[in-house]
Structure 1
Amino acid sequence: MSAHISETRIVRGACPQDCPDTCAFLYHVEDGRLVEVTGDPDHPMTRGGLCVKLKDYAEHHYN
């Protein structure tokens, strides 16, 4: 039996909502599936913060 080691890949993206800040996201992907979304700390306006509309984006993405 071989153990499967999953690797998390981080993909940069932008918020799909139509807000003035256009927050930058870091999408955390494991085995081709979105597992977490965090704010990009390098974004000049939001500095890594996420608004309440998207704090659970990864959980709702597949629903």
Structure 2
Amino acid sequence: MKCPICSKPTTHAFRPFCSQRCADIDLGKWLSGDYAVPSRDPEDIEAAAEAAEAAGDTSSKSH
């Protein structure tokens, strides 16, 4: 099995990764939203639009 981050062979201690470094890189991707799954649920789309609108309102008030 190859490490999904760097393609080196995996080690038992960090499987499915080859090292703690690659495991940490993967965790960082999850935490930053790089692995987000897009949704087509209308409620999710509405919530995202409202959040974007609210973020826009906040930035315009601070200027």
Give the TM-score of the pair, scaled to structure 2. 0.24
Q: Which has the larger radius of gyration?
A: 2
- Bigger RCO (CA 8 Å, 6+ sep): 1
Q: Which structure has more helix as a fraction of its residues?
A: 2
Higher strand share: 1
TM-score normalised according to structure 1 size: 0.24
